[in-house]
Amino acid sequence: MFKKTLSLLSLMLLFSYAFSQNADIALTFKFSHGPYIQDVSKSGASIVFTTSQPSFSWVELTDNNGNTQAFYNIEHGVKMANNTFHTIRIDNLSPAKDYSYQLFSKEITKFDPYSVVYGDSITSESFSFSTLNPTAEELTFIEMSDIHGNNDKLEKLLHHADVQSADMVIYAGDMMDYYATEDQPFHNFIDKSVEVFASETPFWLVRGNHETRGRYSRNLFRYVPREDGRYYYTVKQGPVLFIFFDSGEDKPDDHPVYAGLNDFDNYREEQAAWLRQVVASDEYKDAPYRIVVTHIPPLADGWHSEQHITKTWLPILNEAGIDLMLAGHLHEYKYFPKDADIYAFPLIIGSNNTAARVVVNGEGIKLKTIDVNGNVIDEMKL
């Protein structure tokens, strides 16, 4: 009996030790996702990352002259703290300049009205990025869509398209199947992007219809923040002015699966009004090239959204001197050459197994479409 009791006690102590060791591992304070760069402009950028426990975090930025400055997320007079999701906006930078940055964070173990207690402190390795250069003579970018959370496919396409030599990446929608769990954007494409390039090279997400689905879909913006607060916008980098649309869902707003929660027809009309202002602007008129990116393309014989885009956006675009439109959604590669009766510009629809590598300079637009096995399935100069 004594031996059995001793054996049971030893076993309990062993389990207790193992549990404490695992608990220590689980509670290790660390950077858990990111960092990645968002909303880069000629004068700023946002750095997004998370910590494993609530903390006070900031970014320290160093320019080429060795000057270092700390940046915090300050809202309404207070530095944001006791959170795990961190977005630090860095402004007042110079165009076309290289900067290095590091993350800093102090764990918060107690946050009472008159007593804040810090725990461990951590610092990341150093990363670098460049502000946009609107006057650069050449731009190289990668564009793909419809990955639907397949990280193996994403990694292969980024590799075959040589993302390491690109200036930027465009995800043209449906990088997720839907948004059902809180951290799903990380697991579906952001973590892999960070692993491959996104701590130093920016990506822009053009929202697809699948990103609008799921209980957490209304939280997506925190993962791809923009100062203007919109999913549709323009970006001027090098010789290209990009117009990024948010094409919404594919079915009518009153379809039963949407439960009365969508209003995308009015939203697309809103973007049409915005588009008229864009094409009338000096920035647009002065741009050597204009490239449009939308998840859902304009197709007169397609589903509801494709027809609505054909009705609302296409007439404006056909009169605006667009050089190229890139889209996805169909899961099938299609090339529509410039046709005055339909599209006054070339339209390329990528498949769910391809990426486009695009080089734009004074000689024109060179576009190569590569599949997941590294095969070149189309190549053209526009």
Domain boundaries, the chain: 31-130, 139-381
Structure tokens at 265: 């027809």
pLDDT at 13 over 80: no
**pLDDT at position 341:** 82
CATH code of 31-130, in short, is 2.60.40.10
Query: What's the pLDDT at 5?
Result: 46
| Mean residue pLDDT across the chain | 94
* Per-residue pLDDT tens digits for 182-232: 999 999 999 999 999 999 999 999 999 999 999 999 999 999 999 999 999
Secondary element (H or E) of residue 2: helix 2-26
pLDDT at 7: 52
Q: Which of 253, 360, 243 is nearest to 303 (CA)?
A: 253
Coil, helix or strand for 192?
helix
pLDDT tens across 227-248, in order? 999 999 999 999 999 999 999 9
Q: Which residues contact 173 (CB under 8 A, 6 or more apart)?
A: 145, 146, 205, 206, 207, 208, 209, 210, 211, 247, 295, 296, 328, 329
Q: Is the pLDDT of residue 23 over 90?
A: no
Give the pairing of strands 83-90 and 115-123.
unpaired
Task: Work out the pLDDT band at 339, boundaries 50, 70, 90.
Answer: confident
* The pLDDT of residue 27: 79
Strands (E), 113-262: 115-123, 127-130, 139-144, 168-171, 203-205, 233-237, 240-244
Q: Which of 246, 285, 244, 292 is nearest to 266 (CA)?
A: 246
Q: What average pLDDT does this structure show over 45-50?
A: 99
The answer on pLDDT for 6 being more than 60 is no
> Which has the closest alpha carbon to 348: 372, 373, 365, 362?
365
Structural tokens at position 19: 């549990």
Q: Is the pLDDT of residue 12 over 70?
A: no
Contact assessment for residue 250 and residue 329, using Cβ atoms and an 8 Å cutoff: yes
pLDDT value for 10: 54
> Which H or E element spans position 19?
helix 2-26
Nearest to 329, CA basis, from 311, 365, 346, 304:
304
Q: What topology does CATH give the domain 139-381?
A: Purple Acid Phosphatase; chain A, domain 2 (3.60.21)
Per-residue pLDDT band at 340 (split at 50, 70, 90): confident
Does residue 306 register a pLDDT over 70? yes
Cβ–Cβ < 8 Å for 73, 88: yes
> What average pLDDT does the segment 345-360 reach?
98
**Average pLDDT, integer, range 305-315:** 97
Residue 173 confidence class, pLDDT cut points 50, 70, 90: very high
The pLDDT assigned to 255 comes to 96
Is the pLDDT confidence value at 16 over 60? no
